Structure 1
Amino acid sequence: MLRYYEHLGDTEIAQILGCSISTAQTTTTQALQNLRAGLDPDTALLMDLLLPTRQAG
């Protein structure tokens, strides 16, 4: 929610959550994966188009 609704970056999210930047990134990635897993295929595809996953690197 913080990343997409509030348009916050990793640093700001980490500060709000009181964690490291890498923890904030991991938490965001895991939350999106869990959300996608519970969606029907068409909705998951739409979500992938609107909120692509972070590319490693």
Structure 2
Amino acid sequence: MNSSSTSADPARSFLSVDTARAAILDSLSPLCGWEKVAVRAALGRVLRTDVIAPYNV
């Protein structure tokens, strides 16, 4: 067994929290535009505004 492969410090390949956060934020982009869809078609989508029921539920 090769001892050099087991003695390497795996933490050296980890990103710092700040570096990881910066990489994630750099890869994000805002959503452009919006569309109005029926409630049944909205599953898995992100809401642009709050949904308000026309009556108490």
TM-score by length of 1: 0.31
Answer 1 or 2: which has greater helix percent: 1
Task: Select the structure of larger CA radius of gyration.
Answer: 2
Normalising to structure 2: TM-score of the pair? Answer: 0.31
